[in-house]
Structure formats: C-alpha cells, structure tokens
C-alpha cells in the first residue's frame, strides 16, 4: 500500500522529514537562481551599447553601469468612456522578455476638440533646436537624436489636420503642438425621388 503513494510523500513519512524538506527547498532556490542568471544574460545581450558604461571608483575598481531604463504608462478615459492606455519609455514588453530600444518614447497626451488636435509631449533634457517634427494629414512624428538624449514617437492622429497651420511651443521640457483639423464638408443629403 505505501508503494501506491508518490515518492515525495513516502519520503516525508519517515523521521528524517525535515532534512528532506530543507534539501527540496535548497534545490528549488538553486534552480530559481540559475533561471534568473540565464534571464539576466539574455536581457543584457539585447541592451544597446549606449546603455552600458564602465566607471572607475576611487579605490581603483571598475563598476559596470546599465541604463537608464524607462517604462511607464498613462491611463485616461476616452470620449467613449473606455480607458486609453499609453506606454512610454525605452523598454517594451515582448514575448521573449523586455526589449530595450535606443530611443526613449516620450509621454504624450492627445486632446481632441471640435476644431483642433492638441498634443503635449514631455521631452526633458533637450534644446528646442534638437527637436525634429514631421507631419502629414494623418500622422505626426517627433524625434530627438543627441549624444545625451534620444527620443522617438510616431502618432496616428484621430482626424485629418492642416499641417502647414501647425503651432508649436517648447518650454521647460514640454512640447505643445496645436494642429487645426480639416473641416469635412457635409455631403448633400439629396432630394427624394418619387416613383411613377
């Protein structure tokens, strides 16, 4: 009858239960440690070279520094009452673990009114001359490429806009963009036609 029980249960029935228990816990922790080391090796192999630096300490030892790694999100309620989640940063989740990009995606808010689309983007640490904007009727792309900071964001606009009439302002790391909407002409409703 005891042969019918699984081995782990039979081991625990003997007086040396505690030693078996602690050996199992120790083995489990060793396996977890090994898995974490493998995950860290995989993650560090995908980190862009600009995010790895070495620095000498006063005692002469060298320390490897990583980063900055930024990931965040903002949530707001859309006009339809459903939450809209926007991610920002330079770390993106993927099926194969986090992916680190060279460019950081800035935090962006899009506010739509009847006549215009207002975009607010956080781009700290850059000068106005470093920001490059490119727009079409349907999209807006912003980028910064300096040795200290790299930002990139492509935005699909909720309506068609007049790019040539765009107004911008940059102050204290916050870029504000106002894009006037293209007014859609209402199609004629037509006239009723009688049947003879």
In DSSP terms, 117 is beta-bridged to 112, 179
Is the confidence at residue 142, as pLDDT, over 90?
yes
Is the confidence at residue 44, as pLDDT, over 90?
no
Is the confidence at residue 87, as pLDDT, over 80?
no
Task: Write out the two tokens for 101.
Answer: 């990009």
Q: What is the pLDDT of residue 107?
A: 87
Q: What would be the CATH architecture of the domain defined by 66-180? A: Sandwich (2.60)
Q: What is the pLDDT of residue 139?
A: 93
Predicted confidence band of residue 19 (pLDDT cuts 50, 70, 90): low
Predicted confidence band of residue 25 (pLDDT cuts 50, 70, 90): confident
Task: Write out the two tokens for 112.
Answer: 């739509």
- In terms of average pLDDT, the best of 3-7, 18-22, 77-81, 112-116 is 112-116
Q: What is the pLDDT of residue 150?
A: 87
- Domain ranges, ordered by start, for the chain: 2-45, 66-180
In DSSP terms, 122 is beta-bridged to 174
Q: What is the rounded CA–CA span in Å between residue 127 and residue 181?
A: 28
DSSP string across the chain = -GGGS-HHHHHHHSTTHHHHHHHHHHHHHHHHHHHHHHHHHHHHHTS-GGGEEEEE-TTS-EEEEE----EEEEEEE-TTS-EEEEEEEEEE--TTS-EEEEEEEPPEEEEE-SSEEEEEEE-TT--GGGEEEEE-SSEEEEEEE-SS-EEEEEEE-SS-B-GGG-EEEEETTEEEEEEEBPPPPPPP--------
pTM for this model (two decimals): 0.57
Summarised one tens digit per residue, pLDDT across range 103-123 is 888 888 888 888 999 999 999
Question: In this predicted model, which residue has the larger pLDDT, 69 or 34?
Answer: 34
Mean pLDDT to the nearest integer, 78-96: 75
């Amino acid at each position: 009858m005891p042969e019918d029980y699984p081995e782990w249960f039979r081991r625990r029935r003997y007086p040396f239960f505690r030693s078996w228990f602690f050996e199992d816990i120790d083995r489990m922790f060793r396996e977890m440690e090994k898995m974490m080391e493998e995950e860290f090796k995989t993650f560090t192999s995908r980190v862009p070279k600009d995010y790895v630096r070495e620095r000498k300490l006063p005692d002469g030892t060298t320390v490897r520094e990583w980063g900055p790694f930024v990931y965040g999100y903002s949530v707001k309620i859309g006009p339809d009452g459903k939450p809209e989640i926007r991610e920002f940063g330079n770390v993106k989740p993927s099926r194969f673990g986090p992916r680190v990009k060279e460019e950081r995606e800035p935090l962006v808010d899009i506010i739509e009114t009847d006549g215009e689309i207002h975009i607010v983007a956080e781009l700290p640490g850059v000068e106005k001359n470093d920001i490059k904007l490119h727009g079409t009727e349907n999209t807006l792309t912003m980028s910064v490429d300096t040795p200290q900071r790299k930002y990139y964001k492509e935005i699909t606009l909720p309506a068609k806009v007049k790019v040539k009439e765009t107004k911008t302002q940059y102050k204290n790391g916050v870029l504000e963009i106002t894009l006037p909407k293209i007014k859609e002409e209402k199609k004629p409703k037509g006239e009723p036609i009688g049947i003879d």
